[in-house]
Amino acid sequence: MTEPRRDRLDQPVERARVRLPHFDAETFGRWSENIARFMGTAQFIVWMTIVILFWFGWNTLAPQGVRFDPYTFTFLTLILSLQASYAAPLILLAQNRQADRDRLAMEEDRRRAAMQKADTEFLARELASLRIALGEVATRDFLRSELARLADELDEAALRREKRARSEWEEERKDWENDRP
């Protein structure tokens, strides 16, 4: 296949692709979070205040020939605007990353809460079934009362046997005495 000629007006010219530099989004995100975190500290505010006071002092008190930003401080305004124009997106990027982490943490919390709820419901059902089953199981007091009743019945049976044996013995003795000449 032949390449289209660049000098022909009847054919569109292919645009050259703009190659942007490749960067690791995670590394850039961590870097932006570190900057945003530093910008939110008292140390940053103190250093920024010192730099601005030095800037004001130098450009108002220094000899006219060494001042680099006269009274309206146009260059300082430009620097602060540039700093703000970079700080705002970096802070927003850091907030978005934090929101993503918070969203993932909330989803994990929801998942764990659902699992805990399912486990709790399962345990509650198991506990209820054990209570129902336990209602059908003989208790210690029930067994004691049944054993006491059985012991009483055995005692009564033994007394009846003893009475019967005595009466039989008495009858045999009477028969024996009657059979004796």
Q: Are 11 and 4 in contact (CB under 8 A)?
A: yes
Which pLDDT score, from 0 to 100, does residue 5 have? 58
Reference 6, options 108, 15, 120; nearest CA is 15
Q: Which long-range contacts (CB under 8 A, 24 or more apart) does 144-147 make?
A: none
Average pLDDT value for residue range 38-54: 94
Q: How confident is the model at residue 148 (pLDDT cuts 50, 70, 90)?
A: very high
Parse the chain into domains and list their residue ranges. Answer: 25-111
Tokens of 111: 């998942």
Average pLDDT value for residue range 148-177: 89
Tokens of 137: 């199981």
Query: Per residue in 83-138, pLDDT tens?
Result: 999 999 999 999 999 999 999 999 999 999 999 999 999 999 999 998 888 877 77
Which pLDDT score, from 0 to 100, does residue 101 have? 94
Which pLDDT score, from 0 to 100, does residue 14 have? 77
Q: Please tell me the distance from the alpha carbon of residue 97 to that of residue 89, in angstroms, as a whole number.
A: 12
Give, in degrees to the nearest 5, the angle at Cα 147 between 145 and 150.
110
Q: Please tell me the distance from the alpha carbon of residue 84 to that of residue 73, in angstroms, as a whole number.
A: 16
Average pLDDT value for residue range 45-50: 96
Task: Please list the helix, strand and coil fractions of the chain in percent, rounded to the nearest 5, in that order.
Answer: 75, 0, 25
Which pLDDT score, from 0 to 100, does residue 181 have? 61
In one letter, which amino acid is 61?
A: L
